[in-house]
């Protein structure tokens, strides 16, 4: 297509200026979906295309988005949807912007749509507008993107991103959500697996296979039956086992590693959120 470049070429044609950053990383648990986090002050994208979808949010500042005959300003609380092969560009407004983007392929997005709807989806899901204002969806996507970038909790990243994509498909691409039912038996099996293997780096697809569900169906069903998502339940199980170890006199740093947290800081955040005090304070109180 004359006058149109692909994303890597678009980036290389516009060297980053002062105060600008750009980092690509892959969501390895989710079919290697490419992700980008960047801050642009003067960087202007030429018209270009992707073979994948582009789904992302602006964290700070504003960006001019042009695609499919639409031209508008994107800011915090907005979600950008670029369809595969859509010609689009971008430019900073009033000092620039920081944003987070993901690039899921058609097959992956169709798979999520089928999991959401509970039926085959023949055509690639179509997002009605390149730009929507959806603060809750943007918050969920941002949390997913940050979790994937940090790499500290793989289950959190994949669960959050699937929830974000599912929400976007239902609200902004007219994918109907399948009716919910009661599924106590399958969820009981998943809970038992988590209780037995809470310290491991569990994968959402393994938990879903235990229930006989798709990953999206598992998240919905588990939340409906238990009141928590699978990841939240894993964190709860780790905190409960951490309490056991602390009561026995173990040091917080040792406990963090033993029950599956990335480090002591991760344990402290999760523990205090659920128990109300830090692991060290809890240990001192129960062993005094």
Q: How many helices (H) and strands (E) does the chain have?
A: 11, 9
- The mean pLDDT of 185-194, rounded to a whole number, is 97
β-bridge partners, 103: 34
Q: Is the pLDDT of residue 156 over 90?
A: yes
φ/ψ of 33, rounded to 5, equals: -55, 130
Domain boundaries along the sequence of the chain: 5-172, 181-288
Q: Is the pLDDT of residue 13 over 80?
A: no
For residue 115 the two structure tokens come to 């999991």
**Domain 5-172, CATH 3.30.70.360 — does that match?**
no
Percent of the chain, pLDDT > 90?
84
Tell me the C-alpha distance between 230 and 215, whole Å: 10
CATH class as words, domain 181-288 = mainly alpha
The whole-model pTM stands at 0.88
- The mean pLDDT of 161-166, rounded to a whole number, is 96
């Amino acid at each position: 297509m004359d006058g149109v470049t692909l994303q890597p070429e678009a980036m290389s044609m516009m060297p980053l200026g002062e105060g600008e950053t750009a980092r690509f990383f892959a969501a390895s648990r989710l079919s290697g979906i490419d992700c980008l986090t960047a801050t642009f002050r003067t960087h202007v994208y030429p018209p270009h295309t992707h073979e994948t979808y582009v789904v992302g949010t602006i964290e700070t500042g504003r960006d001019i988005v042009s695609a499919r005959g639409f031209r508008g300003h994107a800011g915090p609380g907005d979600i950008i949807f670029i369809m595969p092969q859509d010609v689009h560009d971008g430019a900073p407004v009033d000092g620039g912007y920081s944003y987070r983007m993901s690039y899921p392929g058609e097959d992956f997005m169709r798979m999520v749509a089928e999991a959401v709807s509970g039926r085959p989806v023949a055509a690639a899901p179509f997002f009605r507008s390149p730009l929507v204002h959806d603060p809750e969806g943007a918050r969920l996507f941002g949390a997913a993107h940050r979790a994937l970038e940090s790499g500290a909790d793989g289950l959190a990243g994949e669960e959050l991103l699937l929830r974000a994509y599912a929400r976007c498909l239902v609200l902004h691409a007219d994918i109907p959500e399948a009716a919910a039912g009661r599924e106590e038996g399958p969820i009981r099996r998943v809970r038992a697996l988590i209780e037995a293997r809470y310290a491991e780096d569990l994968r959402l697809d393994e938990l879903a296979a235990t229930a006989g569900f798709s990953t999206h169906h598992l998240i919905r069903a588990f939340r409906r039956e238990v009141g928590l998502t699978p990841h939240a339940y894993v964190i709860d199980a780790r905190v409960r086992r951490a309490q056991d170890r602390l009561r026995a006199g173990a040091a917080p740093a040792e406990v963090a590693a033993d029950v599956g947290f990335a480090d002591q800081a991760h344990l402290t955040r999760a523990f205090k959120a659920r128990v109300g005090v830090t692991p060290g304070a809890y240990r001192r109180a129960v062993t005094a």
